[in-house]
Amino acid sequence: MLGKIAAGIGSILLIPILAAAVGSLGGGAAGAPVAASVLCTPTPSSSEAPPGIYATPAASSVGSSRPCQAGELEAMVLSHPRIQLGSAAVGDVAEGRVDPRVLQVLLFLAERHELGSVGPLITGHSYFVAGTTTPSNHAFGRAVDISVIDGQPVSVYNPAARDAMEMVLTLPPPLLPDELGGPWLLFHPSVSVFTRDHGDHLHIGWDQ
């Protein structure tokens, strides 16, 4: 797995396209299904204006994209200038232990925000949800905590943190999580949103 990730980092001039984000934020034909995946495209030719490496292009360009290859998604997260993983989280990603949906949502949020103190993912988090005997989604690589957004700690005084929560709730399945914790009790018909013990960080997780 490390070899695949190293190869992905070596070819990191690929531009990630968040098709799910484009579909949910840009709209589409009524009733049309939205592709929920991260796609990759080659670097534009020299005749084109060079976009940022991690810029999300217009929806019209999604058709020329391809699915990310093994290790490529991990490489994108590990090298992304707006995603600062904790040391234990780096190891979890590099070892290929993290659910692809977690990586996809981190890339989606990083299109608009700088994410700091990202983690724990698996390592460093208790097996059970605090105060219960219920296994945590962290234990299976299906959850992430984020403590700093746009250089400020997550709290009710950080509007970027609220925006990040709202961004997550715009995602279509399967990127839409089952649980979202943070300082604000936002409404969503199918996501369990909670604030208890999450006034200082965001928690994003999937049950299966």
pLDDT number for residue 130: 86
Q: What is the pLDDT of residue 50?
A: 32
Q: What is the pLDDT tens value at each position of the chain, 208 positions in all?
A: 655 555 554 444 333 434 433 343 333 333 333 334 455 644 333 333 333 333 332 233 334 557 778 898 999 999 999 999 999 999 999 999 999 999 999 999 999 999 999 999 999 999 998 889 899 999 999 999 999 999 999 999 999 999 999 999 999 999 999 999 999 999 999 999 999 999 999 999 999 9
Q: What is the pLDDT of residue 67?
A: 75
**pTM exceeds 0.95 for this model:** no
Question: So what's the pLDDT on residue 65?
Answer: 59
- Reduced DSSP (H G I as helix, E B as strand, rest coil) percent helix, strand, coil of the chain, to 5: 30, 20, 50
Cis peptide leading into 81, omega within 30 of 0?
no
User: Distance between CA atoms of 177 and 192, rounded to whole angstroms?
Assistant: 9
Q: What are the tokens at 94?
A: 């590099």
Query: What is each CA distance from 81 to 28, 52, 85, 110, 136, in whole angstroms?
Result: 30, 11, 10, 9, 29
Residue-level pLDDT at 58: 29
